Amino acid sequence: MTLVSFFKVAFTALARNRMRAFLTILGILIGVGAVIAMVAIGEGAKEKLQEQFTNMGTNILMVMPGTVTQNGIREYSSVTHFYPADMDAVKKDCPDVAYVSPNISSVQTVSAQNQNWTTQISGVNPDFFQIRNWGVVPGGRAITDSEDNSGALVCLLGQTVVTNLFGDANPVGQLVRIKHVPFRVIGVMLPKGDNAQGQDQDDAILVPYTTAMRRLNGTPYLRGMIASAASEEKIPNAETEITQILRQRHHISASWQQDDFMIRSLDEMIQAREQATSQQMLLLGIVAGISLLVGGIGIMNIMLVSVTERTREIGIRMAVGAMDRDILLQFLIEAMVLSLAGGILGILLGVMAGLIVSKVVHWNVIFPLWSIALSFVFSALIGIVFGFYPAHKASQLDPIEALRYQ
């Protein structure tokens, strides 16, 4: 019962000077608001990233030329070449690899009817469509093995390319010229959207890889391979198997010799991303902690002033029977009400700010319950911790001297 009365007393005391109360809690308000908004944006970005990774395909391993520098850092190297035979060997001799597709591409200007468009032409095989989970619009078809083997002049167009070369018309059966060579369009790819780097995946043309090698890139080798493991658990096994096969084929026999290639799994990349995100979160936590600390000091400052101003009031209360803990509790509750008000207003501000940002960057922001709950709890704690010293000082006043205070 008395506790409720103390809360009422606290509210009345704070309401007496609203401007001062507001300025006091501004620190906590802004700090909490910033953290809520940033966490929401971060969570939304994480979700969007997850979507994009799934969009790319599952259980993917990327095989690239690579080398290890003196510092033990693996990096891309343009020296190593992969050959179609490498790819076939991986497909045949790696039981935990389900599909393999070549990595070869170039940027070309293509023309159709009287339109031009510059885009990326990628050489692929039938496995590509499985690996990337990327299908063809009904009415068209994917590239076949025989077309691969024969270097056929066929191609598939991404949605963006279609729009820019053919408008609304159906391009299947039409011709496009790539490097002055006529290619027949055998299908249109389903829309894919942007990838994790923000590039438009629909701005692409797919041709048989042999055609790309011979006609577009003019090289007998590939820039790498994309493989997909049979399942998520098999990814490490697949990685080992590919490594073994390629070492064999590239004549790297001695165990001390480094691979001349790198294998990156998408999962690795996701993990790396997640690690970066947790580092960001840690940083955010530190920033939040500092701003709450500063806000708390502000509260302690104002409470000290308040206690001094109300010395006589404290003396009067003691004279009529208030004990140490009554005075302590009263001022502690005042401090906690202040900090909680800052926290709650901060949460509201953060939610509003997050929603506004969401409109600007076009992805969802997520307000996880833990961020709101934590903000609430920490705001209350700040009030109690930083309000304690002034409240304690108040409770230790001598009633006779307090009554004499002018």
Give me the residues that bind another protein (CB under 8 A), please.
Answer: 1-2, 4-5, 12-13, 16, 312-313, 315-326, 399-400, 403
| Torsion angle in degrees (nearest 10) through CA of 200, 203, 207, 209 | -40
Query: Smallest distance, Å, CB 337 to another protein?
Result: 17
Token pair 């005391």 in the structure block, residue? 13
Comparing CB distances to another protein, the nearer of 184 and 325 is 325
Comparing CB distances to another protein, the nearer of 38 and 302 is 302
Query: Smallest distance, Å, CB 313 to another protein?
Result: 6
Write phi, then psi, for 218 (nearest 5 degrees). 65, 30
Q: Is 144 helix (H, G, I), strand (E, B) or coil?
A: coil
Query: Smallest distance, Å, CB 315 to another protein?
Result: 8
Query: Smallest distance, Å, CB 305 to another protein?
Result: 16
For residue 202, how many other CB atoms are within 10 A of its CB?
20
Alpha carbon separation from 162 to 113, 119, 121, 125, 139 (Å, rounded) = 12, 11, 14, 21, 15
Burial class (CB in 10 A: 0-12, 13-18, 19+), 388: middle
Contact 149, 214 (CB under 8 A): no
Comparing CB distances to another protein, the nearer of 138 and 321 is 321
Q: Is 217 helix (H, G, I), strand (E, B) or coil?
A: helix
Query: Smallest distance, Å, CB 335 to another protein?
Result: 18
Comparing CB distances to another protein, the nearer of 23 and 323 is 323
Query: Smallest distance, Å, CB 311 to another protein?
Result: 12
Query: Smallest distance, Å, CB 13 to another protein?
Result: 8
Q: How many CA atoms lie within 13 A of 276 on its CB side?
A: 10
Token readout for 158 is 């991404």
β-pairing verdict for 154-157 and 181-188: parallel
Comparing CB distances to another protein, the nearer of 305 and 400 is 400
Separation of alpha carbons 16 and 401, rounded Å: 25
Comparing CB distances to another protein, the nearer of 322 and 341 is 322
Q: Which amino acid type is present at position 253?
A: S
Comparing CB distances to another protein, the nearer of 174 and 311 is 311
Query: Smallest distance, Å, CB 45 to another protein?
Result: 50
Query: Smallest distance, Å, CB 345 to another protein?
Result: 25
Instruction: Report the first-to-last Cα separation within the chain, whole angstroms.
Output: 33
Give the distance, in angstroms, between the CA of residue 50 and the centroid of all CA atoms in the same chain. Answer: 7
Beta strands in 69-180 (DSSP E): 74-76, 97-112, 115-124, 154-157, 175-178
Q: For residue 343, give the nearest of 299, 378, 387, 318 by alpha carbon.
A: 378
Query: Smallest distance, Å, CB 399 to another protein?
Result: 6
Comparing CB distances to another protein, the nearer of 161 and 333 is 333
Rg (CA), the chain: 33
List the alpha helices (DSSP H) in 221-323.
235-249, 266-309, 311-319
Comparing CB distances to another protein, the nearer of 5 and 115 is 5
Token readout for 196 is 């994790």
Comparing CB distances to another protein, the nearer of 65 and 315 is 315
Comparing CB distances to another protein, the nearer of 13 and 186 is 13
If you write DSSP's letter for every residue of 379-402 in order, what string do you get?
HHHHHHHHHHHHHHHHHT--HHHH
Query: Smallest distance, Å, CB 370 to another protein?
Result: 38
